[in-house]
Amino acid sequence: MRLTEEELKRFDEDGYLFFPGKFTPEEAACLKAEAEAVYALDREEVWRESNGVARTAFAAHKYNEAFRRLGAHPRMIDPVTQVLDGPVYMHQYKVNAKAAFDGAVWQWHQDYGTWKRDDDMPEPRAMNIAVFLDDVTAANGPLLFIPGSHKQGVVDAGHDLETTSYPLWTLDRDKVSELAERGGCVAPTGPAGSMLMFSSLLVHASPPNISPFGRTIVYLSLCHVDNHIRAFNRAEWIAHRDFTPIEALSDDCLDELVAKRQQAAE
């Protein structure tokens, strides 16, 4: 999958691209079932809310075949290598849940802010690309973006160790308000199987999910191999240390798993 010139221009201007329905409903359903299986595991990589509900499964591509394949899917790898102009490695892999009624907030932040401060990633030559495993609506805790905020570089932030179950370098309200006055605030929503890619400098957040509908999103954090992290302050399953370039699989790499799941359901 290659981005068009218009898409590249829009990414440069806004800091993100949204592709509704990039993965089929069958592919999304297969991955959602695998996410539920992963969340049921008793592993240190599976982080939970204070009430025990799963919040994030780190490094799922290391212990789940479906997520291994997704982590090398050309629909996700190719556009990132195009924008970053070269081979990429997996810096971080997360399967993030916003459980119905219990999904907690992710405060306003830039991902590169954490990668720079905690992992000593030299430059923001990295980005996220994500797949919705559920329908994401205005009601169930969608991502919130401030378009164009990636053009501000690394923004001053404080280390939030209290309001989320995962340490974040977060922006204060005054800075978020200032950025939003320039770029507004958007919440990409769409059906399961939709795909997002966004700059590691884009300021984003997500609100609590108090709706009766859960939402799960898989995030691949990909970094140019020449820009790999220099510090190893966090666990390897949070900030990976294998800088081997990802070789994309075929576009039908999930078909076998989808077929097995459908056969099992019959």
**pLDDT digits over 138-181, tens only?**
999 999 999 999 998 888 766 665 565 566 778 889 999 999 99
Quick one: the chain helix, strand, coil %, rounded to 5?
A: 30, 25, 45
Please state, as a whole number, how many other Cβ atoms lie within 10 Å of the Cβ of residue 239.
21
* Token code pair at residue 100: 């119905």
Task: Please report, for the domain that includes residue 192, its CATH number.
Answer: 2.60.120.620
Q: Are 191 and 25 in contact (CB under 8 A)?
A: yes
The number of domains in the chain is 1
Whole-angstrom CA distances from 39 to 36, 44, 45, 116, 128 are: 5, 11, 10, 29, 21
Distance between CA 210 and CA 139 in Å, rounded? 8
pLDDT of residue 164: 59
CB 223 within 8 A of CB 89: yes
Count of CB atoms situated within 10 Å of the CB of 2: 10
Which tens digits make up the pLDDT trace of 193-222? Answer: 999 999 999 999 999 889 999 999 999 999
Q: Which of 51-60, 110-119, 240-249 has the highest mean pLDDT?
A: 240-249
Return d(Cα 130, Cα 219) in angstroms, integer: 4
Give this prediction's pTM. Answer: 0.93
Q: Which of 104, 118, 116, 130 is nearest to 201 (CA)?
A: 116
Burial class (CB in 10 A: 0-12, 13-18, 19+), 94: buried
What pLDDT score was predicted for residue 41?
Answer: 93
82/67 Cα distance (integer angstroms): 22
Alpha carbon 155 to its chain's center? 20
Contact in structure between 190 and 72 (CB atoms under 8 Å): no
SS3 249: coil
| Residue range of the domain that includes 257 | 5-265
Instruction: Give 101-133 pLDDT, tens digit per residue.
Output: 887 887 889 999 999 999 999 999 999 999 999
**The two structure tokens encoding residue 167:** 């340490």
